[in-house]
Each structure stands twice: as C-alpha cells, then as structure tokens.
Chain A
Amino acid sequence: MAGFNKVVHSYDEAMAGLENGMTVIAGGFGLCGIPEGLIAQIKKMGTRDLTVVSNNCGVDGFGLGVLLEDRQIKKMVASYVGENALFEKQLLSGELEVELTPQGTLAEKIRAGGAGIPAFFTATGYGTPVAEGKETREINGRNYVLEPSITGDFAIVRAWKADRYGNLVFRHTAMNFNPMVATAGKITVAEVEEIVEPGELEPSQIHTPGIYVQRVIQAKFEKRIERRMVRQG
C-alpha cells in the first residue's frame, strides 16, 4: 500500500531531486491552472539553467514569471510569451533562449513524449520559420513537418481533486495542458485543491490515471485572473 501513497506534506518533498540544468514541463494556460506553489518552490530552491516547457511564461511577479527574477530559466519553450517586461528584457539581452512552438504542436509534442512516440508529422508550420531546419515530407499530396516530442525530468501540474493513488481530476478550463504534462515527466508532481479518499473519484471520470503521477501535494491557490471580463446582468 505504501508504494501507492503518493501524498507528500511539504514542498521540499514535492520538488526533491530537482537539479540545475534539468527540464521542467509545467501545465497551465496563461495563469489558469498553473501549479502556483510548485513554481514558488523552484524559486525558493534557486535551481538554475532550467529548460522550462509551458504554453506561456506567467506575468511579472506571478506564475513562471517569478523564475525570471533570479535568472533561473536558461531556455523557454512556449507558444506565446512576453506578457511580462522581464521576459522581454532577458530575451532582448540574450540571457534567455526562446523556442516558439505552435500551441497545438506543443500540446502534441508533450502528449507524444508521454506516450512514447519520439516524433510526429504535422502540417502545422510547414512553409513558415517553424519548419526551418526540420525534416519535411509529402504524404498523400500534402506537406508535413517532423516535430520531435518532449519529455521532462520533472512535470508539474495543477489539478482539482486527487486521491493518494495519484488519480487526478481537473476543473473547468484549468485542465488545458495539465493532462499531457502529467504524462511527460520522469517525476510528475501534482499540486491539488483537494485530496479525497480512494473510491470517491468515479473511475470512468478520472482525467489522469495515477500511474503517471509520482507525488501529490494539497495546496491553496491564489488563482489570479489575467483578463477579467464581466457582462452586466
């Protein structure tokens, strides 16, 4: 049984083993569904020369943006960045390397990585700067680009509910990249709002089966909103 109890009780335990130069894949879209406390722990640990894979890089002072403050990120793989002034500054000064990747290709690279598929052909990006230096092939009259998959030393995700087996359920659009990211880490850490007893999660409604998850930590989240839009009524 103990082997299946993945719950840890401190952030030190949650991120134990993270070393300089590692690759960390992080779930989230903008500031939605990000593992806030795990990111804060990486900042606290001061780990450097990280390659970070995530759709975005947070904002100044929140989310992955905090890892820029002490220059912990060497390379960022993302589809859309630059919501933060610090990112822009480090990019222009050459301190930060950026690999821009189309959003769907990024999602599929991570999915494929977790599924043991080393690369795949996609039409996305053919004939654009994204395809430069990559193998292309014509299949049934259409041109495709070969995209290598992505795996990480660590994968960090945020979920809504988990049990001690590491089964995860995500909440609303905070799901986004989290299910794929959870599959692609040598060590996957899930930061969750609630830990429930085994059996409370309906087996057929589980988004991420526990086999992908090594550690679970319960947390309270700030859940900052990036663009607050309201309708009268």
Chain B
Amino acid sequence: MALSREQVAMRVAQELKDGYYVNLGIGIPTLVANYVPAGIEVMLQSENGLLGMGPYPTEAQIDADMINAGKETVTAIKGAAIFSSAESFAMIRGGHVDLTVLGAFEVDQNGNIASWMIPGKLVKGMGGAMDLVAGAQNIVVTMTHADKYGASKLLDACTLPLTGVGCVKKIVTDLAVLEVKDGAFHLLERAPGISVEEIQQKTAGKLVINGEIPEMVFA
C-alpha cells in the first residue's frame, strides 16, 4: 500500500542524525518533527529567524511575537537562538544547515526541482524555498510519486518553472525512496507491498534498479 503522509514523515525521520540542524518545510515535512528517533537530538531551524524551534504553545504560552516560518504560533526550546532574517539565510545560504526537507510539484533525474509556480495559476511567491535548495548540502524532497491522475512527478526534465537546479539528492514518495545521481533516479527502497514494477510504471524519468530492492522498515 502507498504510504500515508505520516508514514512518509516517519521514513524521512530515519534520515536524521544526532546533532543535525534541520529545516522542515510546510506540509508533510513539518510532520517529521513528530518522529525524531529516540536517543538523537536535532535542532529545528525556522527561516524567519529561529534556531531551536519547539512545539506549538499551550493557550497560556501563546505570544504573537513568537511564530514559525509558516506564520504559526510556536515556542522556542531551551538553548534556542533568535536572530534576523538576514542572519537566518546566512546560515542557510552558507551551507550550515545539515538537512532541508521540502515538498515539490516535480523533480527530475538531474536533481532539478519545481515547487513554487504553476503557469496560469496565481503565483504567490517562492518564500524561502529557492534559498533553501541553493544552500543546503542535503535536500530531501517529499511528494506523492504521481499526481491524482496517475501522471508521474519524477521526470526526465521538469516542465514547470524551477526552484533550483541540480540540488535534490534524495526523494521520499508514498511509494519509494530514491537517490538522484548521475542523471538518474536510483531506487533504494519500496513501500511495503509496492512492487518494483509499479514504481517503474509511475517513474517517467530514468530509473536505475540494482538488484533486490528492500521494503522500507518502520520501527
């Protein structure tokens, strides 16, 4: 069966390492914070200017001056730092954030990503996404493997205006975990019960399948 949003987040959480500074985008990426593996510590960065983001506040803790990049009320953990947006993007652009997780409309076999603009529809803006994909050393994209009509979102070349070029290294979809390198998608893992054939059929770009592909393991 295809993974739920929560299961995609759980699988992405396995990419976290002890001591990582992590920026989580809006949507499924935000859920990753709920599945940080036991025994490791990560620090969440919110690009409006917060390092050490905590959970949502209780009613008593709500403070209009304390929000995250999604403009939601939030808290800071003990040991957090707050700084300007220029400082925040200096740490992003300067490559100091260890892992960025974000959603996308399309990804292609050369690691290009399109996530902010659909021509003909109202364009609201890219926010910090272009800076994040240009700056992070390690980018994981979460998305459904195909759209609701069954059309693949993993392409040989993105058709939509790009957010960044050659930056995506790993993709976790509802069907598979894939690595992007040498101009191809490399299949690493499949969702429990999903066949390699189905993944092949729903991957429009070049797919490399090496040997037996294991199923994802959830603790």
User: Are A104 and B72 closer than 8 Å at their CB atoms?
Assistant: no
| Residue tally, chain B, CB below 8 Å to A | 51
Interface of B is mostly: loop
Query: How far is the CB of B114 from the nearest CB of chain A, in Å?
Result: 9
- What are 24 pairs between A and B in contact, CB < 8 Å? A30-B71, A79-B128, A80-B127, A100-B125, A102-B130, A103-B85, A103-B126, A104-B47, A108-B89, A124-B93, A126-B164, A126-B165, A127-B162, A127-B165, A177-B86, A179-B86, A180-B84, A224-B64, A226-B67, A226-B71, A228-B62, A228-B72, A229-B72, A229-B74
- Whether B165 contacts A80 by the Cβ 8 Å rule is no
CB within 8 A of A111: which of B86, B128, B134? Answer: B86
Cβ-closest 8 pairs across A and B: A104-B89, A104-B131, A127-B165, A80-B125, A223-B64, A103-B128, A30-B71, A102-B130
Determine if B163 and A104 form an interchain contact, defined as CB atoms under 8 angstroms apart: no
Q: Which residues of A contact B84 (CB under 8 A)?
A: 107, 175-180, 207
Chain B residues 27-57 with CB under 8 Å of chain A are 46-50, 55-57
Which residues in chain A, 53-83, are within 8 Å of chain B measured between CB atoms? 55, 78-82
What residues of B have a CB within 8 angstroms of the CB of A176 in the complex?
Answer: 48-49, 84-85
Tell me the minimal C-beta distance from A152 to chain B in angstroms.
Answer: 16
Q: Given A92-B122, A107-B89, A230-B56, are A223 and B163 also a contact pair (CB < 8 Å)?
A: no
Min distance, Cβ A142 to any Cβ of chain B, angstroms: 10
**B65 at the A/B interface (Cβ < 8 Å)?**
yes
Nearest chain B CB to A92 CB, angstrom units: 7
Q: By the criterion CB–CB under 8 Å, are A124 and B135 in contact?
A: yes
Contact between B70 and A227 (Cβ–Cβ < 8 Å)?
yes
Shortest distance between the CB of A61 and any CB in chain B (Å): 17
The reply on B124 being an interface residue by CB < 8 A is: yes
> Closest CB of chain A to B164's CB: distance in Å?
7
Inter-chain CA distance A179–B83, complex, in Å, is: 9
Set B47, B67, B112, B165: member contacting A30, Cβ < 8 A = B67
- In B85-128, the 8 Å CB interface with A consists of 85-86, 88-89, 92-93, 112, 117, 122-128
A124 adjacent to B134 (CB under 8 Å):
yes
Q: Is A220 an interface residue (CB 8 A)?
A: no
**Of the residues A30, A81, A175, contact of B49 by C-beta under 8 Å:** A175
B47 — which chain A residues lie within 8 A by C-beta?
103-104
Nearest residue (CB) in B for A109 is B86
Residues 212-233 of chain A, each 1 if its beta carbon lies under 8 Å from chain B, else 0:
0000000000011111111111
Q: How far is the CB of B168 from chain A (nearest CB, A)?
A: 13
Q: With the chains together, A233 CA to B71 CA distance in Å?
A: 21
